[in-house]
Structure 1
Amino acid sequence: MSKYKGLKSSWFLIVLFLGIGIFMLGNSGKSLFTRAFSQPVTLDELDYSGEIEGTYVRTTVYGIYGAYSETVSSKTNSVKAREYVIDAGDYHYISLKARSGDLKKADALMDASFDYLDGKIDSEALEPYQFEITGTIQPLSSKSLQYYHEFFDWYQLDDEVKESILPYYVEIGEVAGMDNGTMWGLFAIGVAATGLGMFFLYNSLTGYERAVRKFLKSAPDSRSEERVRDFLSHTQELHGLQIDRNFLFMLVGGAGYYLDLPDHVVWMYKRITSHRYNGIPTGKTYGVNISFADHKQREITVKNEQQADEVIQALSSYCPKAIAGYSKDLDNLYQKNYNQFLELRYNQAGQS
């Protein structure tokens, strides 16, 4: 059996998980990098004569002058997000976008700002409603920009005033297009997926030798490495199984490897699993489940039922004491009274 058969069998999982991991890390990485290494500025510090798109800001919202757009859930009829107008400093205005979790404090500041402008409260009374935000400056969408301009009665303004109304927004907590929760969620998924991909890759590349070393370490002196290597080199493989009267070597689950003695096999049966999607049959998968004397079950994955039968036949030839075939009674006995199960060890030609 090739040392890299496990790699050939598991390449899809390796590519899948590494691809997902790299994609997720790439998507969350920009936001994470910006938060960790970029120095935020306040809106008052911005140079509005230059390019400000993508600028990372951390600033205090001192007042909100109105709301011009909101997004409502079609299912609950509740407000999911609202867009406001705030002071951007140096006689400029910019849009502030708040999602459901921040609407309460934004609306409270807006109401307090109206009271301040009407002379009902002073600046000291306004301070408790003010709050700090972080985010990156992004251009408004065409639809939001339309509502934004309508708020200011755009076509009645002269060009100088229009220049002070910036066509950008800052979304509370959104840095480089991603809020804090989403960023860490994608980052965690990326790390986990990359880790799984690396695990499958490592296991596929090193599993062969690790299985051999583990067996030799626990084996009596009579099982020399030379005999094992000779067996592995000269015994023909059958659908992920190599076996003779001395040794058994198998590809476990398409990626791992396991080496043992044929006499340690206590039970074997084929497994056929039917798969459905929304009640529609989508195919079957096949395997041969092999139980060993350590009370652990390992499975060889095969392509079809014929291959499963051929593996069972090969096992039966070299494992005459093992039980062949599956029944619920055997499974219950194996799970609940293993010692009694071992007393049944004989070559049973039951239904598999």
Structure 2
Amino acid sequence: MLEKIRKKNIKWTIIKVVICAAIIAGVLIFTKMAPVKMLMGPEKININNFDLEKYEGKYVEVDIAYVWECFLEQETYTQYKGGGRSPGRTTALYYISEVNRDTYGQYIALLADGKQRMSQFDDILDATYVADANGYTPKSTSFKGTFLKLTGEEYTQYKSYMNKYEVPVDWYADYIFKVDNIGKCDEATVYITSAAIVIAFLFAIYSLYSGLSNRYTKQLRKYATENGITFEQICTDLDRAYTTGSTWLLPKFTVYVVGNRVKIVKNEDFVWAYYKEQRTNNKGIVTVTRMVMLGNKNKKLIPITVGSEEEAGSVLQFYADSQPQMVLGYNEELKRMYKKNYEQFIMLPYQTVARDEDNYGENNYSENNYSENVPENNNSQENGFSEEGFTEENSFAEENNSAEEEESDYNSFEKNNFTL
């Protein structure tokens, strides 16, 4: 039995590790190795004498002294359902900067994203004009970021600005320096994807440790110690246990699997058992979970997941044959009695009533209320089972996770708008 579980654990461990490796590889490909570049740190270069094409896409650190003009701003606003919009707020500014002043000199675009960076570059712009008017070199400030080719709306607006002021083509390059970017990713994205890589890596390590160690038998060993028996005795008992699916049944205890762990419970601690089917609907995808619910003396319900209704029936039949203290089946009266009148509830299995009794009354209980051979047309839930097996009264509760949003005057979403 344990060897079977061990092999299953190894199989699932391999699957988990492969999934984690795929996540890590996918993140690195999507970000073009940005987390690795961040880890290695930027390469320091001289902005006044370097090859733009050579350093395109690389994470670098440069000293910027010249900022000549702000030519474009990025505005964010909320679009309302009725057609209106909120007042816009500026979230990023595009400037004209300068590179390779030691050789031929070229203008390029520069992106400052966020309130702090925009304020910083506004100060550099002011300092540039003051220094130029007085004939000295402005003080430079160090920034990290990436040189990228201009594309899309950014390229269109940049070219429009240069043409408007009739700047010769050889005086500017179609590049932009994106401050704080690592490759094409902004700093926030890199931190999030780096966290995803770390989590995936740690989960893979944990999965390997859990899957290849004996942690899955921890509860069995604890049970053996607390009950004055050896772990080997439990293993021997399990080899002769009644098995259905991933549940092993013996008169003294029940063993079942949750994830990659083996759980064990003492049968004498439980006074109630019934079948429960739970349906969840997530955006049209219906998932059915089948369980045998065990109610203990502390009024706590413990679910044992089963693969089918037939499997649940086998478990309940075993309890019917071996656990005289258990009430089998479900209805609202039993639920109320279990919660509010426990002393009366635990006496139900020892009371005698006619076999053809239709309902659970406050003082009524029949050991034959659980049966797999229910009359074909009997749809009554009153005896704690349906024609398909033990179930909760009034059919199964369907949990719908697809929440419907309330109607409102508007639905809002964020948009970016470039303005000159």
TM-score, normalised via structure 2 length: 0.65
Which string of whole-angstrom CA distances, capped at 9 and with x for unpartnered residues, describes residues 320-344 of structure 1? Answer: 323434566766887899xx57982
CA contact (8 A) 1:239 1:311 kept: no
CA contact (8 A) 2:55 2:147 kept: yes
Summarize the Cα distance change of 1:155–1:83 in structure 2 as closer, same or farther, 3 Å threshold. Answer: closer
Which string of whole-angstrom CA distances, capped at 9 and with x for unpartnered residues, describes residues 72-121 of structure 1? Answer: 3352533343322112242233221122333333344435545655x4x8
Q: Does 1:277 align with 2:282?
A: yes
Question: Structure 2, unaligned stretches of length 5 or more?
Answer: 79-85, 350-364, 370-382, 385-390, 392-420
Structure 1 distance, partners of 2:135, 2:347, is: 90
1:48 aligns with one of 33, 51, 67:
51
Summarize the Cα distance change of 1:264–1:202 in structure 2 as closer, same or farther, 3 Å threshold. Answer: farther
Q: Does 1:88 align with 2:99?
A: yes
What does 1:95-114 align with in structure 2 at a 5 Å threshold?
95-101=109-115, 102-111=117-126, 113-114=128-129
Q: Does 1:238 align with 2:244?
A: yes
What does 1:272-311 align with in structure 2 at a 5 Å threshold?
272-278=277-283, 280=284, 282-292=286-296, 297-311=301-315
Q: Does 1:262 align with 2:267?
A: yes
Please tell me the residue identity of whatever aligns with 1:313: Q
Query: Deviation at 1:251?
Result: 1.3
The match for 2:401 is: none
Matched residues, number = 338
Q: Does 1:57 align with 2:63?
A: no
Structure 2 distance, partners of 1:247, 1:315, is: 11
Query: Deviation at 1:140?
Result: 1.7
The match for 1:172 is: 179
Percent of aligned pairs sharing the same letter: 19
Query: Deviation at 1:306?
Result: 3.6
Which string of whole-angstrom CA distances, capped at 9 and with x for unpartnered residues, describes residues 153-189 of structure 1? Answer: 399666xx61x52332221211233333322222223
Structure 2 distance, partners of 1:217, 1:238, is: 26
Which string of whole-angstrom CA distances, capped at 9 and with x for unpartnered residues, describes residues 276-297 of structure 1? Answer: 235x572422222334568765
Question: Structure 1, unaligned stretches of length 5 or more?
Answer: none
What does 1:1-352 align with in structure 2 at a 5 Å threshold?
1=1, 2-3=4-5, 4-5=7-8, 19-20=22-23, 23-24=26-27, 30-44=33-47, 46-48=49-51, 51-73=54-76, 75=78, 76=86, 77-90=88-101, 91-101=105-115, 102-111=117-126, 113-114=128-129, 117=132, 119=133, 131-153=141-163, 162=170, 165-196=172-203, 198-199=205-206, 202-203=209-210, 206-220=214-228, 223-252=229-258, 254-278=259-283, 280=284, 282-292=286-296, 297-326=301-330, 344=346, 347=349, 349=369, 351=384, 352=391
> Please, which moves more after superposition, 203-212 or 236-245?
203-212
Summarize the Cα distance change of 1:216–1:103 in structure 2 as closer, same or farther, 3 Å threshold. Answer: same
CA contact (8 A) 1:18 1:198 kept: no
Summarize the Cα distance change of 1:50–1:21 in structure 2 as closer, same or farther, 3 Å threshold. Answer: closer
Please tell me the residue identity of whatever aligns with 1:92: Q
Please tell me the residue identity of whatever aligns with 2:221: R
Structure 1 distance, partners of 2:322, 2:287, is: 32
